[in-house]
Structure 1
Amino acid sequence: MDDYPLLNIFWTMLWLFLWVMWFFLLVKVVTDVFRDHGLSGWGKAGWLLLVLLLPYVGVLVYLIARGKGIGERDAKQAKGHEEALHQYIQKAAGNVRSSADELSKLSALKDKGDITQEEFDRVKVELLA
């Protein structure tokens, strides 16, 4: 511990944090390049080459030139996921409701005497399966 002072540990941790933060930005930029449907194939290739050949400069230039769009595309993607989840929940709840409606209609038919208890039980098992 004496050969590596506390201040050196602090600097090492700071540089490690900055490296992880830059790596996160690099991954964010690359995923944003491929997620942007308005960007042509040549545009995507150009940004990717710039970011990979000159990583620090490329990430900074991308953030300056297209930084505002990153947040807009993130919000659009989150909204799309939320709508898909909402539609899935409605579909799943609709199926439950339709089974419950069918059971109530079936029960009304049995109460009126239109179907027998055996028919009711058979169709009920089919609906609940």
Structure 2
Amino acid sequence: MKFLRTVFILSSITFMGCCTSDKVEPLKAGTYSGVFNVKYGSESYSGKTSLTFENARFSSTSGQNRFPAGGSGVYTISNDKIVFTDQNFWTADFDWGLILSGTYTYSFDGKRLTLKKQGESSSYEYVLEKVSGD
């Protein structure tokens, strides 16, 4: 009987642990404006950008000197991840991590949207505020 009680308690703790998660507010269609930041080791660069979401499509503006490069295409969301699939052709003379493409971790509180992606020796971050849309 003691064994069954121990199994029940451990199962309950495991079940509760796997079911708790940080809830991310659903991303809303519209336009978001703000800053893009990239770090290469100890060097940092930033630029102004805007990002529009509509009907599972996205469009991002480019900044000065491609910080960021921009991008447009389709996106999907799963939990706290957004996968951007850029549908443009690009030259090979810059860091393609500056293109809004690939998997980003995101947080959204209904107004502020933050996107983050870690590269091998770089990190990319968008810090945006909702300016129009639903």
Does the pair score TM above 0.5? no
More helix by share: 1
**Larger relative contact order, structure 1 or 2 (CA cutoff 8 Å, min sep 6):** 2
Q: Could you tell me the TM-score, scaled by structure 2's length?
A: 0.29
Larger radius of gyration: 1
